[in-house]
Amino acid sequence: MHELSIAEALLDVALEHAEGRRVARVEVRVGQLRQVVPDALEFAFQMVSSGTAGEGAELAMEVCPALARCRECGSEAPLRSFPWRCPGCDGSWPEVVGGEELELQAIEVTDEELDMEVVR
């Protein structure tokens, strides 16, 4: 289950940037070629963040489609099947330009003290 190691990596970065504050929301971009199962990643994130400042954070995932660019003519087309065929020149030597993303885009943090004041 590689979602677990991805979740751990995302949480590490999020907590580092939160600098001790509570993480409310984590936005990630995940490429289609990463073959991440969204539900599995969300579950893994909940699991690894339990007991940390990231517990309960909303995980917002954007899936980036797999995209290839022809090395011959520069045309771009979705990478759906192999072998890939260029729509421009019928070449079959693509460079993958999308779909391998795994980026933590943004996090939202809440000031813990402020939160508690609101609760009271």
Q: Does 86 bind Zn ion (CB under 5 A)?
A: yes
Q: Does 78 bind Zn ion (CB under 5 A)?
A: no
Please report how close the Cβ of residue 68 comes to Zn ion at its closest, in angstroms. Answer: 10
Following DSSP, what letter does each residue of 3-57 receive, concatenated? HHHHHHHHHHHHHHHHTTSEEEEEEEEEEGGG---HHHHHHHHHHHHTTSTTTT-
List the interface residues with Zn ion, window 20-59 (CB under 5 A).
none
Determine the size of the site formed for Zn ion (CB under 5 A): 8
Question: What does the binding site for Zn ion look like in residue numbers (CB under 5 A)?
Answer: 70, 72-73, 75, 86, 88-89, 91
